[in-house]
């Protein structure tokens, strides 16, 4: 295959062609696959389809680069990461535009903030350290706890926040001395390929490679003998395949998976002030958030008023192509998800549940547009309450009793996030403490940060990303006992 200098293309990031980045080189592939614009439903670019051999080559280069990368100091690796953030910053607008084209999210409120946040996180994480701890220091010996890098990390990412979720993995993995091969979702490979391309002009060859292709590359990575860890974000079903496949080589795993987050609005809540946050908590990214509000529990005492205020707010939003600056809600990302979200609409209608907004897909549109849909008080056992819709449909569910609503919120195989809203903060925190989830927000929504662990309980995940806890998961603890 031909290879192209990473520097030659640095001024034309937005236009194709796109390359996989392997061993410091940009490579062409013999096969390619279509990347669709979800706002038009039409192909707008072709992405390279890496072969199994090219993935092997990327892993071999990462293994070789690990020898020298892992022995650099934190300060040296920080410098590389800072240079990477600088190099990305130059292209921040092109990268965001590309993200909107392939993912669908509105440019101004979705894609640009995602790209900017990813760049900012690289810089912030680069400044973190995992120091050696002295566990014992006696007359006879010293016991030190080191945290050593694992080796080659394989990152497997989804299509909802392709850039941010990839960089959540890249920055801590590289900082702690690992090398990495990323496989983006086949639905949204392009922006990640460009991040990979830019990386080749910053990092030593093999430190960070990006290899796009079909889903079959995933199992190849999870079974690969030279990959020490898989950092996976995606659905719980795929996560189970990852666990099974990784067992053969006893890989370390971090799994960020699905959720069915409940928001509980308590009887004393200042719910009028919270409408916008609750709306965007559910509908942001067209509902395609792992930690999106997927069940909105409202106390009976203000239920009707709440539903009309929520619907009024929703009516002010505009559905359309994310490149249109007036659009606030974009399409669903891909046809598979579009069809899946429609099964929820079909089920809601078939069971005579009350749709108070939306519900009808405009069949004349070729893009994957689902209007914001609000379902009023569907039964607890219904599909829209029990399953992860991952689309712009919100069930507003009535409750009477706080103990009962906590039980309903916890009655799920998922345990990712949740939120509790109430004027009496202590009482709201007491409810939050009873939710069986990895994260819970009280009177705010989706605040995140590089020192805040992010991860799920139950079938929503294993391990965390972010925070010192997440960074530690890119290392092995190593105890060194020294006789004096």
**330, 320 contact by CB (below 8 A):** yes
- Pairing assessment for the beta strands 393-399 and 295-299 based on DSSP bridges: parallel
With b for 16 or more beta-carbon neighbours within 10 A and e for fewer, the 361-398 pattern comes to: beeeeebbbbbbbbbbbbeeebbbbbbbbbbbbbbbbb
Tell me how far apart the alpha carbons of residues 359 and 273 are, in angstroms, rounded to a whole number: 26
Residue nearest to ligand NAD (CB): 218
- With binding defined as CB under 6 A, does residue 456 bind ligand NAD? yes
Helices 162-175 and 190-200 cross at an angle (nearest 10°) of: 30
The answer to whether the Cα torsion of 15, 18, 21, 22 is positive or negative is negative
Strands of 23-158 (E only): list them: 25-27, 31-37, 42-49, 133-137, 141-149, 152-156
Options 10, 64, 70, 235; binder of ligand NAD; rule CB under 6 A: 235
- Choosing from 57, 256, 388, 465, the catalytic residue is 256
Identify which range of 15-23, 128-136, 229-237, 372-380 contacts ligand NAD by CB under 6 A: 229-237
Please list the helix, strand and coil fractions of the chain in percent, rounded to the nearest 5, in that order.
Answer: 40, 25, 40
Closest CB to ligand NAD among residues 91, 294: 294
227 lines the binding site for ligand NAD (CB under 6 A): no
CB 233, min distance to ligand NAD, A: 5
Q: Where are the alpha helices (DSSP H) in 351-450?
A: 383-386, 402-410, 425-433
57 binds ligand NAD (CB under 6 A): no
**195 part of the interface to ligand NAD, by CB under 6 A:** no
In the complex with ligand NAD, the residue whose CB is nearer, 266 or 332, is 332
Q: Cβ(50)–Cβ(189) under 8 Å?
A: no
Find the shortest distance in angstroms from Cβ 98 to ligand NAD: 18
458 binds ligand NAD (CB under 6 A): no
Beta bridge pairs of residue 255: 232, 462
Please answer whether residues 357 and 268 qualify as being in contact, where contact means their C-beta atoms are separated by less than 8 angstroms: no
Distance CA 440, CA 459 (A): 16
The reply to whether 158 sits near ligand NAD by the rule CB under 6 A is yes
The only residue of 344, 390, 399, 474 in contact with ligand NAD, by rule CB under 6 A: 390
CB closer to ligand NAD, 324 vs 387: 387
Helix (H) or strand (E) holding 311: helix 303-315
C-alpha angle with apex 87: 81 to 90, nearest 5 degrees?
145
Distance from the first to the final alpha carbon of the chain: 57
Q: Does 234 bind ligand NAD (CB under 6 A)?
A: yes
Query: Counting contacts by CB under 6 A, is residue 189 touching ligand NAD?
Result: no
Confirm or reject binding of residue 218 to ligand NAD (CB under 6 A): yes
**Residue indicated by tokens 């190593």:** 478
Annotated catalytic residue, options 102, 114, 290, 388: 290
**Identity of the residue, 34 or 127, whose beta carbon is nearer to ligand NAD in the bound complex:** 34
Smallest separation (angstroms) from ligand NAD to the CB of 220: 9
Q: Does 109 bind ligand NAD (CB under 6 A)?
A: no
Does 110 interact with ligand NAD (rule: CB under 6 A)? no
Candidates 217-225, 354-362, 399-407, 473-481: pick the segment binding ligand NAD (CB under 6 A): 217-225
- The reply to whether 290 belongs to the active site is yes
Q: Applying CB under 6 A, which of residues 110, 186, 322, 463 lies at the interface with ligand NAD?
A: 186
For position 459 contacting ligand NAD by CB under 6 A, the verdict is no
Cβ of residue 51: shortest distance to ligand NAD, in angstroms?
16
Q: How many whole angstroms separate alpha carbon 301 and alpha carbon 407?
A: 20
Q: Is 219 in the site for ligand NAD (CB under 6 A)?
A: yes
* By CB under 6 A, residue 196 contacts ligand NAD: no
Per-residue string for binding with ligand NAD, 255-294, x by CB under 6 A?
-xxxx------------------------------x----
> Using the rule CB under 6 A, is 416 a contact of ligand NAD?
yes
> H-helix or E-strand containing 296?
strand 295-299
Q: Is 215 in the site for ligand NAD (CB under 6 A)?
A: yes
Residue 306: CA count within 13 A, CB half-sphere: 28
Q: Using CB under 6 A as the criterion, which residues of the chain lie in contact with ligand NAD when the complex forms?
A: 156-160, 165, 183, 185-186, 215, 218-219, 222, 233-235, 238, 241-242, 256-259, 290, 388, 390, 416, 456, 461
Report the catalytic residues. Answer: 256, 290
């Amino acid at each position: 295959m031909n290879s192209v200098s990473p520097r030659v293309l640095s001024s034309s990031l937005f236009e194709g062609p796109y390359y996989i980045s392997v061993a410091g080189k940009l490579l062409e592939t013999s096969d390619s696959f279509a990347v669709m614009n979800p706002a038009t439903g039409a192909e707008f670019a072709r992405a390279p389809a890496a072969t199994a051999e090219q993935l092997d080559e990327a892993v071999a280069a990462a293994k070789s680069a690990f020898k020298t990368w892992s022995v650099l100091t934190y300060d040296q690796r920080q410098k590389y990461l800072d240079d990477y953030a600088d190099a990305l910053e130059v292209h921040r607008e092109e990268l965001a535009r590309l993200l909107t084209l392939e993912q669908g999210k509105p440019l101004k409120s979705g894609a640009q903030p995602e790209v900017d946040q990813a760049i900012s996180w690289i810089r912030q994480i680069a400044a973190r350290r995992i120091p050696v701890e002295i566990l014992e220091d006696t007359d006879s010996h010293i016991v030190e706890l080191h945290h050593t890098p694992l080796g080659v990390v394989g990152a497997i990412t989804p299509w909802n926040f392709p850039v941010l979720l990839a960089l959540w993995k890249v920055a801590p993995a590289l900082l702690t001395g690992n090398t990495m091969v990323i496989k983006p979702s086949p639905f949204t490979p392009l922006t990640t390929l460009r991040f990979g391309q830019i990386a080749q002009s910053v990092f030593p060859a093999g430190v960070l490679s990006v290899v796009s292709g079909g889903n079959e590359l995933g199992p190849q990575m999870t079974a690969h003998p030279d990959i020490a860890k898989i950092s996976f974000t995606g659905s719980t079903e795929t996560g189970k395949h990852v666990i099974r496949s990784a067992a053969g080589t006893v890989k370390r795993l971090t799994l960020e998976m699905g959720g069915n987050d409940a928001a509980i609005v308590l009887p004393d809540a200042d719910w009028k002030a919270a409408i916008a946050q609750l709306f965007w908590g559910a509908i942001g990214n067209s509902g395609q958030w792992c930690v999106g509000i997927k069940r909105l529990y409202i106390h009976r005492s203000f239920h009707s008023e709440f539903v009309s205020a929520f619907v009024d707010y929703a009516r002010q939003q505009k559905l359309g192509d994310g490149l249109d600056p007036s659009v606030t809600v974009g399409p669903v990302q891909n046809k598979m998800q579009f069809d899946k979200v429609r099964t929820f609409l079909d089920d809601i209608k078939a069971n005579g549940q009350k749709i108070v907004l939306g519900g009808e897909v405009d069949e004349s549109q070729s893009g994957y547009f689902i209007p914001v849909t609000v379902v009023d008080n569907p039964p607890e056992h219904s599909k829209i309450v029990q399953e992860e819709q991952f689309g712009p449909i919100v069930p507003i569910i009535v409750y009477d009793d706080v103990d009962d609503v906590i039980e309903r919120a916890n009655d799920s195989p998922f345990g990712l996030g949740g939120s509790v809203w109430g004027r009496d903060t202590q009482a709201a925190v007491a409810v939050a403490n009873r939710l069986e989830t990895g994260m819970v927000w009280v009177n705010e929504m989706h605040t995140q940060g590089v020192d805040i662990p992010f991860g799920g309980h139950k079938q929503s995940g294993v391990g965390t990303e972010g925070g010192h806890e997440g960074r530690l998961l890119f290392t092995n603890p190593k105890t060194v006992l020294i006789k004096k």
